[in-house]
C-alpha cells in the first residue's frame, strides 16, 4: 500500500486545509510567533549589548502576521503564543491581538497567549484580558533590583512588578519563567518560588540554551536543573505531578507552598518526542525546531499572492521536514553557540 502523504494542502472536498502532521506522526497544534526582534532589555543570556536589529522593512506587517497566523489556525493550530524580542514593544500590537481574538470567539483557537518581560504590562494587561487572553508568561530571573538591572543590562524591576500587579488585578493568570544562571540567581530560586507561589503564580525554571553570540561564555552561565532540584529538595518536598500546559515543562507540586514548579531542561533532558510546535519569526521565517537551522521562508509566498494557496503549500512542505529533535551541546572545546541565531529572533 502506498504511504499516506503527510500534511497535504487541501482535503478531498477542497474545503478545509488538512491538519499538520509531521513525519514522526506529531500533530502540530501550537504556533509561537515572534512579532519583533527588538526589546527594551538586553538580557545577558539572550542578547549582546550592541545588537543590530532588522530593518523595519523586512518585518511582516501586522496584517501579514495576522494572515499567516490565521493560515496556521485553519490548519489546526489551536494555541498561539506571541513572543519576541519583547512582543509588547511592537507598535500596534494590540491591533493584532484584537484581530486574532476572532479565532478564540469562533472556537478555532483554544488559547491566545504571550511571553513578555513585563515592562509594558501595566499599560496593556486590562486590554489583553479584554481580548480573551487568559494566561501569560512573565520572565523574571531575580527579585533583587540591582541584580535585575545587571541581568537585563538596564531593566527596571519596579516597572515589571507593577506590570505583574496589573496583570493579576486584570484577572490574568501569570506564570513566572526564570532562567537558572550559575553564580547569578542560583541561590535565589527558592526565594523566587516562595514569592511566586505566595502570589498564586506557578514558577518554571529554564536551563540556559546555547543560542546566539552574546559576548559571554555560556559555560559561565550554565547551571543544570538537576542541581537546582537537588538543592530545593533539601528544604522542600517536591512531588512529581502529571500537570501539562502543552509545553515542555515537567512539573512538581511543592508540599510546603502548595504551588507548582516546572523544569524546562533542554540541555539535560530531551523532550522532543512530544513536540507539537513550530515557530515563525517576525520576517515570516518558519523554524520547525528551536534547536535546528532548517527553516522555510513564508514571506515570499505570502506576498506573492493574495490567495493562501502558495503559503499553505510552503507550510505543508516545511512540516514534512520537521526534524525528530534538537541536539544542543555546550562544549568545552567548541565555545561557539550551538546555533548562531538569538532566542529573540526565533522567539522563546
Cβ at position 182, least distance to ligand SF4 in Å: 17
268 to 141, 162, 224, 226: CA distances (angstroms): 20, 35, 7, 8
The listed partner (ligand SF4, ligand SAM, none) that binds 206, CB under 5 to 8 Å by sort, is ligand SAM
Map residue 280 onto helix, strand or coil. Answer: strand
Site string for ligand SAM, 137-166 (x = CB under 6 A): --x---------------------------
Residues 6+ apart with CB under 8 A from 344: 34, 37, 39, 46, 47, 51, 84, 85, 212
Spatial distance between the Cα atoms of 105 and 69, rounded to a whole number of angstroms: 15
Closest alpha carbon to 155 in 255, 47, 241: 47
Residues 6+ apart with CB under 8 A from 345: 34, 37, 212, 281
> Under the criterion CB under 6 A, does residue 39 sit at the interface with ligand SAM?
yes
The listed partner (ligand SF4, ligand SAM, none) that binds 42, CB under 5 to 8 Å by sort, is ligand SF4
> Under the criterion CB under 6 A, does residue 209 sit at the interface with ligand SAM?
yes
Nearer to ligand SAM, 83 or 257 (CB): 83
Give the footprint of ligand SF4 on this chain (CB under 6 A): 39, 41-43, 46-47, 84-86, 117, 139, 344
The listed partner (ligand SF4, ligand SAM, none) that binds 47, CB under 5 to 8 Å by sort, is ligand SF4
> Under the criterion CB under 6 A, does residue 348 sit at the interface with ligand SAM?
yes
* Cα 310 to chain centroid, rounded: 27
Give the chain's radius of gyration (CA, Å).
20
The listed partner (ligand SAM, ligand SF4, none) that binds 209, CB under 5 to 8 Å by sort, is ligand SAM
The listed partner (ligand SAM, ligand SF4, none) that binds 205, CB under 5 to 8 Å by sort, is none
Cβ at position 45, least distance to ligand SF4 in Å: 7
Cβ at position 340, least distance to ligand SF4 in Å: 16
> Under the criterion CB under 6 A, does residue 177 sit at the interface with ligand SAM?
yes
Contact 345, 290 (CB under 8 A): no
List, in sequence order, the alpha helices (H) in the chain: 62-74, 93-106, 121-130, 145-152, 157-169, 189-198, 218-221, 225-235, 299-304, 309-319, 343-346
Sign of CA dihedral 81, 85, 156, 267: positive
Burial of 41 (0-12, 13-18, 19+ CB in 10 A): buried
Nearer to ligand SAM, 21 or 264 (CB): 264
21 to 6, 252, 299, 304, 340: CA distances (angstroms): 6, 30, 22, 25, 28
Cβ at position 151, least distance to ligand SF4 in Å: 8
Among 7, 17, 18, 45, binds ligand SAM (CB under 6 A): 45
The stretch near ligand SAM (CB under 6 A) out of 18-26, 208-216, 300-308, 318-326 is 208-216
> Under the criterion CB under 6 A, does residue 115 sit at the interface with ligand SAM?
yes
Half-sphere exposure of 248 (CA within 13 A, CB side): 21
Closest alpha carbon to 108 in 59, 69, 133, 74: 74
Spatial distance between the Cα atoms of 252 and 203, rounded to a whole number of angstroms: 10
> Under the criterion CB under 6 A, does residue 338 sit at the interface with ligand SAM?
no
Cβ at position 239, least distance to ligand SF4 in Å: 30
The listed partner (ligand SAM, ligand SF4, none) that binds 211, CB under 5 to 8 Å by sort, is ligand SAM
Q: Which three cell numbers stand for residue 160?
A: 515589571
Among 29, 83, 113, 265, binds ligand SAM (CB under 6 A): 83
Among 22, 66, 86, 202, binds ligand SAM (CB under 6 A): 86
List residues binding ligand SAM (CB under 6 A).
39, 45-46, 83-84, 86, 115-117, 139, 177, 179, 206, 208-209, 211, 343-344, 348
Amino acid at each position: 500500500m502506498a504511504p499516506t502523504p503527510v500534511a497535504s494542502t487541501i482535503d478531498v472536498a477542497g474545503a478545509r486545509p488538512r491538519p499538520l502532521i509531521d513525519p514522526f506522526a506529531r500533530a502540530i497544534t501550537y504556533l509561537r510567533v515572534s512579532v519583533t526582534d527588538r526589546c527594551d532589555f538586553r538580557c545577558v543570556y539572550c542578547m549582546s549589548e550592541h545588537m543590530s536589529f532588522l530593518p523595519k522593512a523586512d518585518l511582516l506587517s501586522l496584517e501579514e502576521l495576522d494572515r499567516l497566523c490565521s493560515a496556521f489556525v485553519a490548519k489546526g493550530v489551536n494555541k498561539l503564543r506571541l513572543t519576541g524580542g519583547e512582543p509588547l514593544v511592537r507598535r500596534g500590537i494590540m491591533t493584532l491581538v484584537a484581530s486574532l481574538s476572532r479565532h478564540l470567539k469562533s472556537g478555532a483557537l483554544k488559547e491566545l497567549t504571550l511571553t513578555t518581560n513585563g515592562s509594558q504590562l501595566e499599560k496593556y494587561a486590562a486590554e489583553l484580558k479584554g481580548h480573551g487572553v487568559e494566561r501569560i508568561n512573565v520572565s523574571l530571573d531575580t527579585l533583587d533590583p540591582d541584580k535585575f538591572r545587571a541581568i537585563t543590562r538596564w531593566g527596571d524591576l519596579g516597572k515589571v512588578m507593577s506590570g505583574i500587579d496589573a496583570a493579576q488585578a486584570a484577572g490574568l493568570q501569570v506564570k513566572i519563567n526564570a532562567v537558572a544562571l550559575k553564580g547569578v540567581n542560583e541561590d535565589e530560586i527558592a526565594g523566587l518560588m516562595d514569592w511566586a507561589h505566595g502570589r498564586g503564580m506557578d514558577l518554571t525554571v529554564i536551563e540556559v540554551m546555547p543560542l546566539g553570540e552574546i559576548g559571554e561564555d555560556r559555560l559561565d552561565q550554565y547551571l543544570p536543573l538537576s542541581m537546582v532540584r537537588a538543592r530545593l529538595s533539601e528544604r522542600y518536598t517536591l512531588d512529581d505531578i502529571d500537570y501539562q500546559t502543552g509545553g515542555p515543562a515537567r512539573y512538581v507540586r511543592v508540599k510546603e507552598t502548595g504551588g507548582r514548579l516546572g523544569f524546562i531542561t533542554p540541555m539535560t533532558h530531551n523532550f522532543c518526542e512530544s513536540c507539537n510546535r513550530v515557530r515563525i519569526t517576525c520576517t515570516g521565517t518558519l523554524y520547525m525546531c528551536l534547536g535546528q537551522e532548517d527553516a522555510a521562508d513564508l514571506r515570499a509566498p505570502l506576498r506573492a499572492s493574495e490567495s493562501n494557496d502558495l503559503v499553505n503549500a510552503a507550510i505543508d512542505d516545511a512540516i514534512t521536514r520537521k526534524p525528530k529533535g534538537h541536539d544542543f551541546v555546550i562544549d568545552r572545546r567548541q565555545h561557539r553557540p550551538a546555533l548562531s541565531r538569538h532566542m529573540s529572533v526565533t522567539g522563546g
